[in-house]
Amino acid sequence: MAEAEATTGRLRLYSYWRSSCSHRVRIALNLKGVDYEYKAVNLLKGEQSNPEFVKLNPMKFVPALADGDSVIGDSYAIALYLEDKYPEPPLLPQDLQKKALNHQIASIVASGIQPLHNLTVLRFIDQKVGAGESVLWTQQQIERGFTAIENLIQLKGCAGKYATGDEVQLADVFLAPQIYAAIERTKIDMSNYPTLARLHSEYMAHPAFVAALPGRQPDAPSSF
């Protein structure tokens, strides 16, 4: 799939418009000012299981980022790869406590919220438990994670304009898509999470975040 494309020199992002994991990487790329080629992978059509894509990411997940012959197939790993390759502007602070907080918030989203309500999990719940049961499950997982993050930010007392200070950092890259999806798709009552609600307003006013929104991607349906 990628041999002929590997010579172009541009990064290639294999993405699905509605994937929050892909959404994170689009934000990171935009913040870093990195030009990339968008390669759509339609999850609803099962294109992630095509043999050509499986060669790029054996887990059959998006996103995958191809940089020449190198392919990274996990949003967290991609974000750290971009941080190393394009250090400016930094997504991680030098302060060790704030750096750890960024990783902790990103980890809550990446391992404690999003994977518990991804497409394969929701389909399994609806098939095994009953149609529509996945909605309540999704709301429960998001609310549990949002409560933890809201309390964590307030406890640390470090929220500035953004989650961990006055500069956009890794925590924001992971939080923004999760909050957006919670509001737009899951209809979570954000009045229970005033800090996260305020952060959402900041994200929706930032050009790098706005450009990464699902509805602005080339594979988004025209009716979205």
pLDDT digits (tens, 9 = 90+) for 20-58: 999 999 999 999 999 999 999 999 999 999 999 999 999
Q: Classify residue 224: in a domain, yes or no.
A: no
**Boundary (domain end) residue, out of 40, 67, 88:** 88
Q: What is the pLDDT of residues 77-113, one digit of tens each?
A: 999 999 999 999 999 999 999 999 999 999 999 998 8
Residues 71 and 22 reside in one and the same domain: yes
In this structure, are residues 5 and 66 in contact, taking their beta carbons and an 8 Å threshold? Answer: yes
CATH number at residue 54: 3.40.30.10
Residue 124 pLDDT class (50, 70, 90 cuts): low
In this structure, are residues 29 and 53 in contact, taking their beta carbons and an 8 Å threshold? Answer: no
In this structure, are residues 2 and 71 in contact, taking their beta carbons and an 8 Å threshold? Answer: yes
- Helix residue ranges, H only, the chain: 20-32, 51-56, 75-85, 96-107, 119-128, 133-156, 170-184, 194-203, 207-211
**Boundary (domain end) residue, out of 66, 88, 110:** 88
The total of structural domains in the chain comes to 2
Q: With a cut of 80, say whether residue 188 has pLDDT above it.
A: yes
The answer for 35, left when phi > 0, alpha when psi is -120 to 50, beta otherwise, is beta
pTM of the predicted structure, to 2 decimals? 0.91
CATH number at residue 167: 1.20.1050.10
Q: Classify residue 134: in a domain, yes or no.
A: yes
Q: Classify residue 141: in a domain, yes or no.
A: yes
Q: What range defines the domain where residue 177 resides?
A: 96-212
Q: What is the pLDDT of residues 130-183, one digit of tens each?
A: 776 677 777 888 999 999 999 999 887 666 899 999 999 999 999 999 999 999
State the pLDDT at residue 224.
66
Beta strand 36-40 pairing with 11-15: parallel
**Boundary (domain end) residue, out of 88, 114, 130:** 88
Q: With a cut of 60, say whether residue 60 has pLDDT above it.
A: yes
State the pLDDT at residue 4.
36
State the pLDDT at residue 6.
46
Main-chain dihedrals φ then ψ at residue 79, nearest 5 degrees: -60, -40
Residues 84 and 100 reside in one and the same domain: no
Could you tell me which residue, 12 or 186, shows the higher pLDDT?
Answer: 12
Residues 105 and 195 reside in one and the same domain: yes
